[in-house]
Amino acid sequence: MLFLQLPIIFYTSKFPGKPTDESFGLIEKLGLEALINAGDWKAVENKVLQLPSDDLTRVMDGLCKQENLTVKVMDYLTTTPSEFQDVLAGNFHINRAWKIRSGSWAEEVGEDQWEGFFKHLNIAAERLNRTYASKKLELEGIARLIRVYMGGSDKEEAHEAYNHCKEIDPNHYLSNIAMHRILTPRWGGSTDEMVNFAASIDNSHLRGLIELSNLVEIYSDMYNENNDEDEQVTKQRFYKEHDALIDKTLSSLEIPTDNSSMLAIDFKN
């Protein structure tokens, strides 16, 4: 069982975009930056809506996190609303919210951070809670809401959003990843909830990714709960206490052969 001895693969270097490009090269490949600089957001929308759902997710992340596009995106978000703009706005404000909050534990987050965090989450919720004509944008928008509900500890709302997405596409990458996150112990879930959720996923590659993520979450929690403990000791406890789960996960793992999908990228990271 070499799970925790494997080096982290910095998979972003395998793609044509910059290492910090959250679209993993799609913004460049589609020529979106030139269109954005020209103010032709309708052309951007038309290109993005031709993409498969997980590529749409990659582009949305890239547009909202690529710093040289931030001013252009913010300007666009003040123009006449559309469902494409609302989804982009929702994602933009979710990212702003979590950046303000930081990844710290709740007790380490300051009052000003909480204020900014909820301000942007509320804006995101307002933009994303709408009627959609496009099923692709509906999937993307409702899946993004799961992260809004995670921030507000609204687990029931998150389940409703996930079930909405599941009715459209049970193997939708973003909604499954987002729902898994809210079921982790750090966000009020439990190991049993994570394991049961993974088992409920039909797609073998997506299920494998969630099962691997479960192992990472379990080990991370063990290490953080005893951060004065030697890492080797934590590894030994991890193997001893979760040997059956590790064996079951690794023995049934199916690695995606498509290297360009978001699922494959996440899997290899």
Query: pTM for this one?
Result: 0.86
How many CA atoms are closer than 13 Å to the CA of 176, on its beta-carbon side? 30
Q: What size, in residues, is the chain? A: 269
**What pLDDT is attached to residue 229?**
75
Picking from 256, 266, 262, the residue whose alpha carbon sits closest to that of residue 57 is 262
pLDDT digits (tens, 9 = 90+) for 97-110: 999 988 777 788 89
**What pLDDT is attached to residue 3?**
39
Residues of the chain with confidence (pLDDT) below 50: 1-19
**What pLDDT is attached to residue 20?**
64
**What pLDDT is attached to residue 145?**
97
Answer for the pair 46, 89: CB distance below 8 angstroms, yes or no.
no
CA distances from 9 to 20, 57, 75, 265 (A): 15, 21, 36, 10
